[in-house]
Amino acid sequence: MDRHEPRCDIKNATLKEIIASYIPFCSARNTPRTISLKRTYLRRFADFVGDIPIRDIKRAHVEDFISHRAAKGNAPANNRTLTVLKHFFNFVIAREVLEINPVVGVKKFPEARRPIKILSDKELKSFFDYCRDADPLLYDLSIVAYNTGLRRSDIVKIKGADVDAERQVLTVCVSKLRGELVLYLPLNANALEVLERRKRDRGNGYLFPGRNVPHVVDFKQRFARAKKATGIDFRFMEFRHNCATTLLRKGVDIYTVKEILGHSNISTTARYLAVMDELKRAALDKLPGL
């Protein structure tokens, strides 16, 4: 049993009582900023529905709450609230209090989705060259991100014990509300060189240790400095996206890409095919008129 499991009668507990156990549960899985946002969104929802047992919360409660928040005119924030609520109720469902997530079926608000930034070989080289000289930690994080397709939250938790240099395999434990998904990810030469080097220095502990914390939690400022210095506007998560699109562009089949990225559903991986179509269209548009 998780040490953050509710000590109260969970089936008769109120929303606020369950939240008091959920937030500590998130502390080992999320950054401090994410935990703060979750606490804020959940507190608002709890204040809105009042002290009713968690088992009595229905989709109507969620819809009424979102409609109430929508009147304040901040659709993107409401969508983030829905995401937090969905994760929270998955936590509750895993404890067999609810059978159906009350967020399921609640429509999100339309919002502009930032397109995936496809970095050119020149842009990647420029960014890596800068980081190699100016910020070795960010260089190593970025190299691993691009060459494995791992999320930032998984990279910072890599330990030396997870790296099998002989078999060239990395064991990654991805935290899920219903447990952990264990991935055995083959390492190419670029990622292996970085992880082996850090393992020699750090041993079997965290390979990306933070200041006064076990591992790096946030490196937004150093990433922002690197973007400003190189003039390349993109998000760190787009190393993962670029890993996927590069593999597809090189002829790797979509099912292999799915396994590398750890997607549970092929439809999630298929979104990269749309990006590939856009790249092909852009390439064909360069043909001269006749």
Segments of the chain with pLDDT less than 70 = 1-11, 73-76, 111-113, 175-180, 212-213, 217, 279, 283, 289-290
Return the ∠ at Cα 203 (arms to 202 and 204), rounded to 5°: 120
Residue 147 lies in a domain: yes
The whole-model pTM stands at 0.66
Please report which helix (H) or strand (E) contains residue 180, including its range: strand 179-186
| Co-location of 146 and 90 in the same domain | no
Domain count, the chain: 2
| Co-location of 136 and 277 in the same domain | yes
The enclosing domain of 49 has a CATH number of 1.10.150.130
Q: Which domain holds residue 36?
A: 10-94
Cα→Cα distances 173→2, 217, 262, Å: 17, 17, 11
Query: Which pLDDT score, from 0 to 100, does residue 237 have?
Result: 92
Query: Which pLDDT score, from 0 to 100, does residue 219 have?
Result: 86
Query: Which pLDDT score, from 0 to 100, does residue 177 have?
Result: 47
pLDDT in tens, 220-245: 899 999 999 999 999 999 999 999 99
| Co-location of 182 and 254 in the same domain | yes
